[in-house]
Amino acid sequence: MTIAVGLLTFPNVQQLDLTAPYEVFASVPGARVHLLWKDLAPVTASTGLVLSPTTALADCPVLDVLCVPGGSGVNALMTDVAVLEFLRFQAGRARFVTSVCTGALLLGAAGLLKGRRATTHWMALDLLAAFGAVPEARRVVRDGALITAGGVTAGMDFGLAVVAELCGRDQAEAVQLALEYAPAPPFAAGTPGTAPPQVVAVVRDRLGASRRAREKIIATLRV
């Protein structure tokens, strides 16, 4: 079985939003994973990792899965006409339209979340309502052909859930075992509900500038 997956690969993408589901999808026998961007020039992720797109947007084939990762680079793309038009076009052809973390904001800017249940990073979850979405604070949310994942590490859970939809649970579990994905974090600080208040305050401050920038951009959009 051949599966075509396209991951939007843009400047200042959050690399784990992209590389976690990439690893899952690329581990499926017969899968073809495209790293999609306007051209094939290398792009630098938000934490400095250099990534090489493999397929230009204009050459993108019909996809089984269209996936939009998040990261600080999403801010610029929410008003990028070419990218938004690409997402709308591909969403009309793909079997599943998906996002990881704040990639959901880009789907929203493209008008693809209206009336749909969706999730994203906890720091941006309430912003989904501006796009007509119904926010849900969960690791993975499926609403028909729309599948969205929460923040960053949720991309692993999301990838396995999508593989199960495409290839069955046995294949998804085989990928999980091959990757030895059995998370046991050393701290219970993975959500604002479990992290100490002082840690939540630090992270809110750290991400505050990007959050404020997104609020201003969203206020100008008509979706």
Catalytic residue among 60, 67, 101, 167: 101
Say if residue 102 is exposed, middle or buried (CB neighbours under 10 Å; 0-12, 13-18, 19+). buried
Instruction: For residue 101, indicate whether it is catalytic.
Output: yes
Contact indicator for 182, 152 with CB cutoff of 8 Å: no
Q: Write the secondary structure of 182-198 as one string of H (helix), E (strand) and C (coil).
A: CCCCCCCCCCCCCCCHH
Contact indicator for 91, 144 with CB cutoff of 8 Å: no
Local structure of 174: helix, strand or coil: helix
- β-bridge partners, 73: none
Retrieve residue 77's tokens: 């793309």
What is d(CA 17, CA 155) in angstroms, rounded to the nearest whole number? 6
Q: Across 12-54, where does the E strand assignment appear?
A: 31-37, 43-44, 50-51
For 196, residues 6+ apart whose C-beta sits below 8 A from its C-beta are: 189
| Residues belonging to the active site | 101
